[in-house]
Amino acid sequence: MKSESAPISFEVNGAPASVSAAPMRRLSSILREELGLTGTKIGCDAGDCGACTVLLDDAPVCACLVPLASAEGCSVRTVEGLGGDRLTALQASFLANGAAQCGICTPGMLVAATALLEGNPRPAEDEVRDALAGVLCRCTGYRKIIEAVVEAHRFVSSDSSPEAAAGLVPPPLAPPHRGEGDRFAAAATKRAGDRDWAAVPQNPPPPCGEGLGVGVPAYPMARPAKSALGSFSFPPAGQAVGASPVRLDGVVKVTGADRFGADVFPADALSLLVVRSPHHRAAFSFGDLGAYVRENAGVVAVFTAADIPGVNRFGVIPAFADQPALAEGEARFRGEAVALVACEPWAARELDLGKFPVRWQVLPALLDPSAAQAEGAATLHADREGNILVRGFVERGDPDTALANAPVVVSGAIETSFVEHAYIEPEAGFAAFDGETLTIAACTQSPYMDRDDTAKVLGLARDKVRIVPTATGGGFGSKLDLSVQPLIGLAALKTGRPVALAYSRQESMMSTTKRHPARMQAKLGASTDGTIVGMVFDGEFDTGAYASWGPTVAARVPVHASGPYVTPNYRARSRAVHTNGPIAGAFRGFGVPQATIMQETLYDELAEALGMDRLQLRLKNALRNGDETVSGHRLEAGVGIVACLEALEPHWKRALADAEECNASAGAIRRGVGIATCWYGCGNTALPNPSTIRLGIAPAGKVVLFQGAVDIGQGSNTVIAQIVADALGLPLADIELRSADTATTPDAGKTSASRQTYVTGRAAEKAARDLRDQILSHANVSPAARLHLEGGVLTVWEGEVRRHIDLARMEPDGRGLVFSAEASYDPPTTSLDFKGQGRPYAVYGFGAQIAELDVDLRLGTVGLVKFTAAHDVGKAINPLLATGQIEGGIAQGIGMALMEEYLPGRTENLHDYLIPTIGDVPPIETILVEVPDPEGPFGAKGLGEHVLIPTAPAILNAIRHATGVSVRKLPATPSRILAAIRGESR
């Protein structure tokens, strides 16, 4: 496409713009790359996700589908232009309602909602759904987004200024004048919490991400907009835990200023293109790579496995590291990287990778775990006989005898599919040398693991690799594994130039991990009064071409497959089997969601066989304090499953009565109600997984918190700060965040296994208490003393005693802190013996959900009516964030239950691979149950994965209740449901 055409002129956010570029360049690319407006996100480049939604002459369009030429003479509005340097009422409502989690879909949502609100300031819920249906969100479950749009009008100032008339909220940039701040704060906190807080009188904490710029000033790293948090009120000292202040990193998420992996590329960076296997299994060889570089203008270099200076094997579990950064001679799955092309950005746009000199020799692929285990099957990895990566086993009592003697026994089998994480942000980042240190800024869930594995692949010392996580647009487990890091690192190492790479949607879907497909069988026996006497479970998990988290799945499943029930006789086996399918790794629950589908649907069949109420059967067998788990772990305290089930009882009765009424008249639509539970151990299974937190007091009068627990949207930036505030005894607003950076923050472990609130929270609590002790001892006062930080003076009160510590007169340490503390916490677990007995986790979380739905008996379609979710979180550090996790987990559970099935080569985009839209998530009523765990910070337990586990089995149980039939293969698509209703075996 020729690019020497005349400049194309249009208006962007009210200012004229003129761009000389190819007329068919996508408007999204122009906005981001030529105009620096990176608030417009690229999620799919196909109009499927809506993340790039902008207003073109006031109409929402996907900027990825608009040729630059179509903008000629038009007005374009992006998220940056919604409120300029202030927040609009809608943006304020998003913050107050917790409608932004990771924030990657937020700009598209805000722009689409703005178009709606400009014509209809008080839309009804269905109008919001219609208007926002083109924007996908993977974190929130959409409910808080709908609330934020419906309630946006409440955030419009009553002020008669022109700004107020335009729906703009004063005054976000400067610390608020008391009156204005209070007026707005009142509106915000009515939704966010139930206490009447005063507005914070001093500068609020800046959003996270500022730490990104440290030491790498040459690159356009995150430059968050000046904070608008001052417009919101924050809880006073001692009241942070249990409050729902707006997220501390929230403002940049609603202004478009947050910087995700693809938003930080330096102008001088080379673009990296990845040559990938189009075959499930193929040997390959290269043609003349030197000639390729010479003959293609703008191509700087080509790299293959032969160029890797270190060990070309990485993996999240070092003992199982088996994945090459670039394949060596044979690709083991479709999408595996085999070569890299580094080129100038302009050349990247013109290069057709189809002409790369690689010859493929297709080899027979094993795509089915049964075939992979068959006698004589080729092995993917020489040392893994029968393609078995690992087996898991837990046994307790004598299940065979128990089941043989049980008066009531039920059994069944269920199969699940590959599930794609489908975060809206494809993997992206850049690498560059800063002196001798290779710095990688990329989205991730696990900066320290990234550092260690990247250093290994590149043959660098660990301290010569620095990982600076960008904002991460969703992770859900897949961004625990390396993706772009070794590739951009290699190219930067070899070329000496910054190198940037953003995966396309297809690359992201092909090459990164999936949820393991499972084939499971189980048998469950009970006495006639409904007491469970025994259970056996067998699960086969397709772990794909490389190990990733397969061993963790195989270990977790047998420990959890009993559900949160007393099961005295039990045997569970699992195995992770290699195939040439996509790599299966971590996905919210590490195999437990699959196992729970088997177990919880069997509980419904058992209830039917016993003639018992389904909730009562669960309540009767639920674990209580003092009971032992199937791993022989005696739970002394904090077991909240009974409390969850009891909280649901009235809802259960109401839902059953509603269903009976709905079904009284015959018709095509039948109402069903289902229930399912979960339990989930927080943190690594029977392995150490410490977190370390550092914090201190800066002379300027701030608590500086080095918060290394990566916030991928779940809220650790806010939750950890809330814990620190109360443990330290200072207000939340005094805290200044330094987000994860392997050069500056201590290792707070990976964001996975629902461990950050609990494990990092405990470390933070400990560090904060240590810091408090130091201050108290410095002031020579007792633990009852109160602290106050203002204007560089730390005041310590105790009764009549009032000591002023002039921070500026103290000698700061190397980090600029005058008091500082660092603390680590590692959950007290034990390893498991050969029968899987031991203490695999120190803290468990519990939950139960009710699904109400309608099944169309003639079409096999499901219309979800309502979810009621009760989750025992121990202590809700931040109730708004906790309900956000629950709603988001339910949305992913809905997808897994009803529509999500990743088929390599067939569903590598977001229109063939379906995730729930805003129209697919019904109202969710959340009950936060608080049964404190003595081990957790302020009694808190993990939550992030628990929330997804009960959803799919609750849906399947409701479908069975509605129709009388069980669907044995997930997702329960209309095809499969109708086939089950018609008695066909599909």
Partner 1 sequence: MTRYARPKTLDEALALLGEGAWRVVAGATDFYPALGNSPIRDDVLDINAIGELRGIGETETHVVIGARTSWTEVRKADLPPAFDALKQAAREVGSVQIQNVASVAGNLCNASPAADGVPALMVLGAEVELRSLRGTRYLALAEFILGNRRTALRPDEMVTAVRVPRSVTGGRSAFVKLGARRYLVISIAMAAARVTLAGDGMIGTAAVAVGACSAVAQRLRALEAELSGRRPDEIERIVAQMALNELSPIDDVRGSADYRRAAVREIVARAVLAAADDPSRRVAA
Judged by the rule CB under 8 A, the positions of this chain that interact with partner 1 are 1-2, 5, 22-24, 26, 45-48, 50, 53, 56, 59-62, 64-67, 69-70, 112, 129-131, 133-136, 349-354, 504, 506, 668-669, 856, 858-861, 898-899, 901, 903, 906-907, 909, 911-912, 914, 916-920, 973-975, 978-979, 982, 984, 986
Report the residue number, 209 or 904, with the smaller CB distance to partner 1.
Answer: 904
Q: How far is the CB of 906 from partner 1 (least distance, A)?
A: 6
Report the residue number, 851 or 877, with the smaller CB distance to partner 1.
Answer: 851
Q: How far is the CB of 56 from partner 1 (least distance, A)?
A: 8
Q: What is the DSSP string of 247-260?
A: PTT-HHHHHT---B
Q: How far is the CB of 973 from partner 1 (least distance, A)?
A: 6
Q: How far is the CB of 549 from partner 1 (least distance, A)?
A: 26
Report the residue number, 568 or 974, with the smaller CB distance to partner 1.
Answer: 974
Report the residue number, 347 or 848, with the smaller CB distance to partner 1.
Answer: 347
Q: How far is the CB of 444 from partner 1 (least distance, A)?
A: 23
Q: How far is the CB of 916 from partner 1 (least distance, A)?
A: 6
**Coil, helix or strand for 82?**
coil
| Residue with token string 């203002």 | 790
In angstroms, what CA-CA distances link 582 with 198, 322, 389, 768, 942? 53, 14, 15, 43, 29
Q: What is the DSSP string of 352-372?
A: -GGGS-EEEEE-----SHHHH
Report the residue number, 344 or 920, with the smaller CB distance to partner 1.
Answer: 920
- Residue 925's nearest CA partner among 711, 654, 713, 712 is 654
In angstroms, what CA-CA distances link 235 with 53, 196, 238, 771? 35, 9, 8, 21
C-alpha span between 395 and 910 (Å, rounded)? 42
Q: How far is the CB of 912 from partner 1 (least distance, A)?
A: 6
Q: How far is the CB of 129 from partner 1 (least distance, A)?
A: 8
CB 10 within 8 A of CB 34: no
Structure tokens at 760: 């990092």
| Residue with token string 């693991």 | 449
End-to-end CA distance of the chain: 49
Q: How far is the CB of 963 from partner 1 (least distance, A)?
A: 15
Report the residue number, 135 or 449, with the smaller CB distance to partner 1.
Answer: 135
Supply φ then ψ for residue 697, to 5 degrees: -110, 125
967: CB partners within 8 A, 6+ apart:
956, 959, 976, 977, 980
C-alpha span between 319 and 836 (Å, rounded)? 20
Report the residue number, 53 or 745, with the smaller CB distance to partner 1.
Answer: 53
CB 701 within 8 A of CB 792: yes
Q: How far is the CB of 957 from partner 1 (least distance, A)?
A: 20
C-alpha span between 699 and 811 (Å, rounded)? 9
Q: What is the DSSP string of 806-822?
A: EGGGS---TTS-SEEEE
Residue 821, Cβ density class (10 Å: 0-12 exposed, 13-18 middle, ≥19 buried): buried
570: part of which helix (H) or strand (E)?
A: strand 570-578
C-alpha span between 541 and 590 (Å, rounded)? 11
826: CB partners within 8 A, 6+ apart:
688, 689, 690, 691, 759
Residue 913, Cβ density class (10 Å: 0-12 exposed, 13-18 middle, ≥19 buried): buried
Q: How far is the CB of 362 from partner 1 (least distance, A)?
A: 22
Report the residue number, 354 or 791, with the smaller CB distance to partner 1.
Answer: 354
Report the residue number, 289 or 910, with the smaller CB distance to partner 1.
Answer: 910
Report the residue number, 353 or 801, with the smaller CB distance to partner 1.
Answer: 353
Report the residue number, 705 or 980, with the smaller CB distance to partner 1.
Answer: 980
568: CB partners within 8 A, 6+ apart:
396, 397, 402, 532, 533, 534
Report the residue number, 288 or 912, with the smaller CB distance to partner 1.
Answer: 912
Q: How far is the CB of 132 from partner 1 (least distance, A)?
A: 9
Q: How far is the CB of 10 from partner 1 (least distance, A)?
A: 14
Report the residue number, 232 or 503, with the smaller CB distance to partner 1.
Answer: 503
535: part of which helix (H) or strand (E)?
A: strand 532-544
